[in-house]
A and B are shown apart, each in its own frame.
Chain A
């Protein structure tokens, strides 16, 4: 299957800004999603990019550059409750869908 690369762990302090990067394989790609998962919980959808550029939803933004096969999730004004794992997920032709291995975000006071 297609592989997505994202950092395994990121640590930041409350109130800060953090960027979680994701690179993906280009062949057959059509869109990149981001999901949040708290320990023991189900993943919840955060955002989706099919076109280049920035999508903003409150404190969270997501960016896609198709030419660079790269995207990122930007979290602003970090709060303790943002401590979770964040997964990028890429959709490909023939309805295939692949998740990255996840980035664990630790928010410290």
Chain B
């Protein structure tokens, strides 16, 4: 158990809909990262937050947005969903210094868009 929690574990929805994925980092971790992993693919870095502020953006679509709240939990919002958005979405957190040589991953949310 990495100490990172993600909800829900599974989500099934229809095209055009909007969903919110939630992540709680390890206690004390200030950085949160979001990743997308499609079937048999690598991890695509989406976005990073550090202590409530956006720190880095990767390959995140404009239909996707995220935020980190004062209690450090984070939410990833996916809108106008398409079939191709079906994937495993991981959240990770790292230490107080913002160092990301080691990230701790949550169990992921499996999103299925029908």
Asked whether B105 lies within 8 Å of A97 as measured between CB atoms, the reply is: no
Please give the distance in Å from A55's CB to the nearest CB on chain B: 11
Number of B interface residues, CB 8 Å?
Answer: 25
Which residue from chain A places its CB closest to the CB of B42 in the assembled complex?
Answer: A101
- B residues with a Cβ closer than 8 A to A are 2, 33, 35, 41-45, 48, 55-56, 58-59, 90, 92, 98, 100-108
Chain A interface residues (CB < 8 Å from chain B): 1, 31, 33, 41-45, 48, 50, 87, 89, 91, 94-102
Q: List 23 A-B contacts (CB under 8 A).
A: A1-B45, A33-B101, A41-B107, A42-B90, A42-B105, A42-B107, A42-B108, A43-B90, A45-B102, A45-B103, A48-B101, A89-B43, A91-B100, A91-B101, A94-B56, A95-B48, A95-B100, A97-B45, A97-B48, A97-B56, A99-B43, A99-B45, A102-B41
Report the nearest B residue to A104, measured CB to CB. Answer: B40
Least Cβ distance of B39 to chain A in Å? 12
CA distance A104 to B42 in the complex (A): 11
> What's the Cα separation between A94 and B48 when bound, in Å?
11
Q: How far is the CA of A31 from the CA of B103 in the complex (A)?
A: 13
A31 touches B42 (CB 8 A): no
Contacts of A87 in B (CB 8 A): 42-43
Give Cα A98 to B100, complex, Å: 12
B58 adjacent to A1 (CB under 8 Å):
yes
- Beta-carbon contact of A48 and B102 below 8 Å: yes
